[in-house]
Amino acid sequence: MGPLELNLAGTAYRLDFAGFHRPLGIATDTLAVTLPPWTYRRHMDTLRLCTAPSASGLRLDSRALCNAVLTGVDADEAARRELAPIALWWAAGGDAPLAQPPAEGEWLDLGSYDNPARVRLRPWTEHQRLAALDASLSGE
C-alpha cells in the first residue's frame, strides 16, 4: 500500500493509505488532514447512530456519517464539505464498487482459474456474523 490518487465528485485527493487499521493521510490542493483508523467497531457503532427506519427501509444520514468519520479533524465547514466524498469512501471500505452478489442459494465463485472455489450464500444475522468473527479471533 502507499500513495493513492482518487478523483471523487470532481476533487482530486492524494492519499497516504496503509490499511484501515492505520490513519489515512489526505491532501488536496487546499488542505491536508489525517483521519483516524476506521475500525469495524467504529463502523458498526456509527451506523447504529446514523441509520433510522423509514417507510422504504433504513435511511442513512450521510451528513452524520461524514461528521463521525471526520471526528477529531480540525476543519471548518467548507473543508468538511470538501472532505465529505473521501470521508464516505473511507467509511464504505475504500474499495471500488463490488459486483452485484448472487441471489440467496446461487453459487459465488471465490477462486481463480487454477484454484477454483465456489460457495452458496445465505443471509446471516448480525449475531451470527459477530459470533463467527469472535470464534475466528479466539481460535475456537
Is residue 86 located within the same domain as residue 127?
Answer: no
Is residue 60 located within the same domain as residue 126?
Answer: no
Q: 105-117 b/e with 16+ CB inside 10 Å = b?
A: eeeeeeeeeeeee
Q: Is residue 78 part of a domain?
A: yes
Is residue 132 located within the same domain as residue 71?
Answer: no
Identify the residue with better confidence: 32 or 97: 32
Is residue 86 located within the same domain as residue 114?
Answer: no
Is residue 73 located within the same domain as residue 117?
Answer: no
Please state, in angstroms and rounded to a whole number, the distance separating the CA atoms of residues 91 and 3: 18
Is residue 66 located within the same domain as residue 117?
Answer: no
Q: Is residue 84 part of a domain?
A: yes
Is residue 117 located within the same domain as residue 61?
Answer: no
pLDDT digits (tens, 9 = 90+) for 17-56: 887 788 999 999 999 999 988 888 889 999 999 999 989 8
**Looking at the whole model, is its pTM more than 0.95?**
no
For residue 120, the enclosing domain spans 107-138
- Provide the pLDDT confidence category of residue 98 given band limits of 50, 70 and 90: very low
Packing angle, helices 40-50 and 62-69, rounded to 10? 150
Q: Is residue 101 part of a domain?
A: no
110 residue type, one letter: L
pLDDT digits (tens, 9 = 90+) for 107-131: 777 766 677 777 777 777 888 888 8
Total domain count, the chain: 2
Is residue 19 located within the same domain as residue 44?
Answer: yes
Is residue 77 located within the same domain as residue 133?
Answer: no
Phi first, then psi, for residue 102 (nearest 5°) are -70, 160
